[in-house]
Amino acid sequence: MSQEDSIKEKETIIIKAARKRFAHYGFSKVTMDEIAGDVEMGKASLYYYFPTKEDLFRAVILQEQNELKKNIELILEKPNCASEKLQEFVEQRMKFFRILLNLGTLSVHSYFDIKSLFKKLFFDFEEVELNFIKKIIDEGKTKKEFSQDLPEDAALIFLHILQGLRCRVLRWTKGQSLDEDTHTKLQQEMKTATDFFIYGIKSK
C-alpha cells in the first residue's frame, strides 16, 4: 500500500468514527480527545490528519454531501418522468437535512454560527443542487412535459423555496431539537410546494 493510500485509509477510519460520535452527541459536545480514543490514536497523530475539529467536521459533511450527490445522480439516470425525478430529489434532500440535524450542523442555537464556519462548503453544494434541478427541468422541457417558456431562473426560484421552508422551521424551533411531528410537517410542506411548482411549470 502506498503512503497516499495509507493516509486515505486512516482518514476514512477517522471520519467514520467522528461521524458516529457527531451523530450521537452533536458537533459542540464532541472533543478531539474522544475521537482519538475511538480510533486508538494519539491526539497528536489525529491532528496530523485533521488539525482542528472544524476540519474533521467539514470532512464528515463533505462525505455526506458526496453521498447525496451520488443518490441524486442515480435519480437522473432513472427512466421516470421529470416530475417524479424532482419529487425524488426533494425527498433525498430531506433525508440529507435530517442527517445534518443529527450531526449538529443545523440544530439548536448553534445553527447560524456553525453554518458560517462552513459557508463555502454549503454555498458550493448549493451550486451542485442548482445544477441538478436545472438538468431535471431541462429534461422536462425536452420531453415536452414542462412549458417551453419557463424563466431562466426557474431552478433557482425552486431551490429558494426549499431553502425558505427549511429556514422557517429552524427559526420557529428557537433552539429546540426538531421533533418527529415538526419534521413530518416540514416534509409535507416540501412535498406540497414541489407539487405546486410542478403544476405551475407543466405544459398546458
The model's pLDDT over 67-89, given as tens digits with 9 standing for 90+, comes to 999 999 999 999 999 999 999 99
pTM (two decimals): 0.82
At 125-177, the pLDDT tens digits run 899 999 999 999 999 999 999 999 999 999 999 999 998 988 877 776 654 55
Q: Which domains does the chain have, with CATH numbers?
A: 1-51 (1.10.10.60), 65-201 (1.10.357.10)
The predicted structure's pLDDT at residue 70: 93
Q: Give the cell for residue 83.
A: 416530475
The predicted structure's pLDDT at residue 179: 72
DSSP per-residue codes, 163-189: HHHHHHHHHHHTTS---HHHHHHHHHH
- Rounded Cα distance between 161 and 158, Å, is 5
Mean pLDDT over 32-45 rounds to 92
- Rounded Cα distance between 201 and 54, Å, is 41
- Rounded Cα distance between 50 and 92, Å, is 29
Q: ∠ CA(186), CA(74), CA(24), 5° rounding?
A: 50
Q: ∠ CA(195), CA(197), CA(203), 5° rounding?
A: 100
Mean pLDDT of the chain: 86
Query: Long-range contacts for 66-74 (Cβ within 8 Å, ≥24 apart)?
Result: 68/92, 68/93, 68/95, 68/96, 69/128, 72/132
